[in-house]
Amino acid sequence: MNDTNTDEPDTFSAEERAAMKERAKELKTSARAGKGAAKAKGEADAMAEKIAEMPEADRVLAEGIHRVVATEAPGLSPKLWYGMPGWARDGKIVLFLQGAEKFNTRYATLGFNDIAVLDDGAMWPTAYALTEWNAHTEAAVAQLVARAAG
């Protein structure tokens, strides 16, 4: 059996490798920050900086989601996750925004991890395409965030 397959693409794209490097940096920063209020403030500041750096379309989405989380799920804390805005409970990411530009996609993605309480029978969605922030989007995201936070 031939173990070399030249038809397979590289394991990770440049964007994925960059995201992994950002995650490693986040873990180092988090370890240095310690625990408690100082760590939470550092993570909130890092999130605000990351959102401010985003291209306008992604930034508007991130700011909208951040406002919704503060209102609907104040128990979740801001936390960068692979260089993306995320919101966590007990250090575990519940939901995150993957900006469209970060991975060169046509839409941003609002994603939910397995600790989000979105269960609905044997199958339910855990990711949603976002193309713009408006009243309808905000209402839908508010419902999802409130449900996901439990």
Task: Tell me how far CA of residue 10 lies from CA of 14, 102, 114, 131, 132, in angstroms.
Answer: 10, 18, 28, 29, 32
Mean pLDDT (the chain, rounded): 87
Residue 117 near residue 147 (C-beta atoms within 8 A): yes
How do residues 51-71 score in pLDDT, each as one tens digit?
Answer: 999 999 999 999 999 999 999
Report domain extents, the chain: 14-149
For 136, counting Cβ atoms within 10 Å of its Cβ (0-12 exposed, 13-18 middle, 19+ buried), the class is exposed
For 83-118, write each residue's pLDDT tens digit.
999 999 999 999 999 999 988 999 999 999 999 999
Residue 47: helix, strand or coil by DSSP? Answer: helix
> Which of the following CATH numbers is that of domain 14-149: 3.20.20.370, 3.90.1150.200, 3.40.50.150, 3.40.50.800?
3.90.1150.200
C-beta of residue 68 within 8 angstroms of C-beta of residue 141: yes
Q: Give the predicted TM-score (pTM) of the model.
A: 0.76
